C-alpha cells in the first residue's frame, strides 16, 4: 500500500510544543498537509518559520465557543491527532476546582468537541478518516499527585474505545497512543526531581526517559507508524493501542 500521507490533510492539536510539534513536523515530513492548532501564537509562528508549509490555528481548546469558531474555518481534515493536554499536579487532598475543571476541559471535553466537529465533517465528505488520541501511561497506573491527570487520561482511553465503536461504521478509525515520560516542557516540569524520576526510570526497560532532541526522532518515526496504521490499516485493525 501507499504509506505516504500525500493528499491527506491532518489536524494536530497542541502542536506548538513537545510531542504535538514533533508529530506535526513528522506528519508534514511524511507528506501530509498539516494544520497545527495551539494556544500560544509565538509557538505557531516559529512552526511556520520552519518552512514546511504547515498551516496554523491559534485557539484555547478550553474555550468551547472559540474552538467551534476556529474549527468552522479549518477545511477538510482526513487525520485528527488529539494531543493537547495539561498536567496540573496536586496531592489528592489539595485538588482545586480550577485544576479539575481546566484539566477535564482541555484533556477530555475538547477531545469530545473537536472530534465531533471533525468526524461529522469526515462523514459528510464520505472519507475514510482516522483519529489518534494521545493518552498516557498515566491512564493505567496510579501516580503520586496525578489524581486529576490520571483520571482525564483513563476517561480518554474509554472515550477512544467508544469513539472507535461508534465511528467505525462510518469508516473512521480511532486509536490511542499511551507514551511514558517524554522530556518535553510537561515532562521536565513533572519529572525533574531526581528521586521521583529514579523510581519511574527503574520501571522503563531502556532505563531513561524519552527526550525530544534525540529519542523524539525515534519516537516520531514510531509515532508515524502508529499514525500510518491508524490511517491505512483495514477497519478491523482499529483498537486501543499502547505502544511506548
Ligand atoms: P507540552 O506541555 O510540552 O505541550 C503541550 C502543547 O499543547 C503546547 O503547545 C500547549 O500550548 C498545547 N496546549 C495545552 N493546552 C492547550 C489548550 N487549552 N488549547 C490549545 N493548545 C493547548 O506537552 P507534551 O508535548 O509533553 O504532551 C503532549 C501530549 O502527550 C499530552 O496529551 C500529554 O498528556 C501526553 N503525554 C505526555 C507525556 C510526557 O511525559 N511529556 C507522557 C505521556 C503522555 P501552550 O504551551 O501554549 O499552553
What are the tens digits of pLDDT across the range 194-224? 999 999 999 888 888 886 644 444 444 545 5
Mutate to test the pocket of ligand 1, among 15, 17, 42 (most ligand atoms within 8 A of CB): 17
Is residue 3, in this structure, part of any structural domain at all? Answer: no
Separation of CA 68 and ligand 1 centre (Å): 20
- pLDDT tens track for 149-203: 999 999 999 999 999 999 999 999 999 988 889 989 999 899 999 999 999 999 8
Average pLDDT, integer, range 219-238: 48
How many structural domains are present in the chain? 1
Mutate to test the pocket of ligand 1, among 68, 156, 184 (most ligand atoms within 8 A of CB): 184
In the predicted model, is pLDDT for residue 234 greater than 80? no
The ipTM value here is: 0.99
Give, in order, the Cα–Cα distances in Å from 113 to each of 44, 66, 117, 118: 22, 11, 6, 9
In the predicted model, is pLDDT for residue 231 greater than 60? no
Average pLDDT, integer, range 73-83: 96
Q: Which three cell numbers stand for residue 97?
A: 476546582
Q: Which three cell numbers stand for residue 59?
A: 485557539
Q: Residue 176 burial (CB < 10 Å; 0-12/13-18/19+)?
A: buried
CATH number at residue 133: 3.40.50.720
Is residue 197, in this structure, part of any structural domain at all? Answer: no
Is residue 71, in this structure, part of any structural domain at all? Answer: yes
Cβ atoms 67, 61 nearer than 8 A: yes
Is residue 242, in this structure, part of any structural domain at all? Answer: no
190 Cβ closer than 6 Å to some ligand 1 atom: no
What's the whole-number average pLDDT of the chain? 88
Average pLDDT, integer, range 87-112: 98
Query: Which pLDDT does position 55 carry in this prediction?
Result: 97
pTM of the model: 0.91
Is residue 30, in this structure, part of any structural domain at all? Answer: yes
Separation of CA 82 and ligand 1 centre (Å): 10
Is residue 186, in this structure, part of any structural domain at all? Answer: no
Is residue 189, in this structure, part of any structural domain at all? Answer: no
Query: Rounded CA gap, 51 and 78, in Å?
Result: 22
Query: Which pLDDT does position 3 carry in this prediction?
Result: 64
Which DSSP category does 176 fall into?
E
Q: Side by side, which strands form the sheet with 55-58?
A: 55-58, 33-38, 9-13, 79-82, 130-134, 173-177
Separation of CA 186 and ligand 1 centre (Å): 7
Count the neighbouring beta carbons within 10 Å of the beta carbon of residue 104: 16
List the Cα angle 152/156/161 in 5-degree steps: 155
Distance, C-alpha 49 to centroid of its chain:
22
Query: Which pLDDT does position 197 carry in this prediction?
Result: 93
Question: Which residue numbers are catalytic?
Answer: 149
Domain with 141 in it: 9-181+213-237
Query: Which pLDDT does position 99 carry in this prediction?
Result: 98
Is residue 190, in this structure, part of any structural domain at all? Answer: no
Count the neighbouring beta carbons within 10 Å of the beta carbon of residue 194: 9
Burial string for 13-47 (b: 16+ CB within 10 Å, else e) reads: bbbbbbbbbbbbbbbbebebbbbbbbbeeebbeeb
Give, in order, the Cα–Cα distances in Å from 108 to each of 76, 186, 240: 23, 17, 16
Query: Which pLDDT does position 2 carry in this prediction?
Result: 59
Amino acid at each position: 500500500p501507499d504509506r505516504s500521507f500525500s493528499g491527506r490533510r491532518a489536524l494536530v492539536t497542541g502542536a506548538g510544543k513537545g510531542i504535538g510539534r514533533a508529530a506535526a513536523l513528522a506528519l508534514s515530513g511524511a507528506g501530509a498537509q498539516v494544520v497545527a492548532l495551539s494556544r500560544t501564537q509565538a509557538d505557531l509562528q516559529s512552526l511556520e518559520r520552519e518552512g514546511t508549509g504547515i498551516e496554523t490555528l491559534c485557539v484555547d481548546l478550553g474555550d468551547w465557543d472559540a474552538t467551534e469558531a476556529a474549527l468552522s474555518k479549518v477545511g477538510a481534515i482526513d487525520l485528527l491527532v488529539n494531543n493537547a493536554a495539561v498536567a496540573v499536579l496536586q496531592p489528592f487532598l489539595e485538588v482545586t476546582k480550577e485544576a479539575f475543571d481546566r484539566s477535564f476541559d482541555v484533556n477530555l471535553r475538547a477531545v469530545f468537541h473537536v472530534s465531533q466537529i471533525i468526524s461529522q465533517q469526515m462523514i459528510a465528505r464520505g472519507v475514510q478518516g482516522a483519529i489518534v488520541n494521545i493518552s498516557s501511561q498515566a491512564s493505567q497506573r496510579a501516580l503520586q499527585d496525578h489524581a486529576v491527570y490520571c483520571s482525564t487520561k483513563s476517561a480518554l482511553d474509554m472515550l477512544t474505545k467508544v469513539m472507535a465503536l461508534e465511528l467505525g461504521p462510518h469508516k473512521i478509525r480511532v486509536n490511542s497512543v499511551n507514551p511514558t515520560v517524554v522530556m518535553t516542557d510537561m515532562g521536565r516540569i513533572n519529572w525533574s526531581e531526581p528521586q521521583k524520576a529514579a523510581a519511574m526510570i527503574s520501571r522503563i526497560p531502556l532505563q531513561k526517559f524519552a527526550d525530544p532532541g534525540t529519542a523524539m526522532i525515534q519516537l516520531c518515526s514510531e509515532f508515524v507508524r502508529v499514525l500510518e496504521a491508524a490511517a491505512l490499516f483495514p477497519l478491523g485493525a482499529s483498537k486501543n493501542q499502547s505502544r511506548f
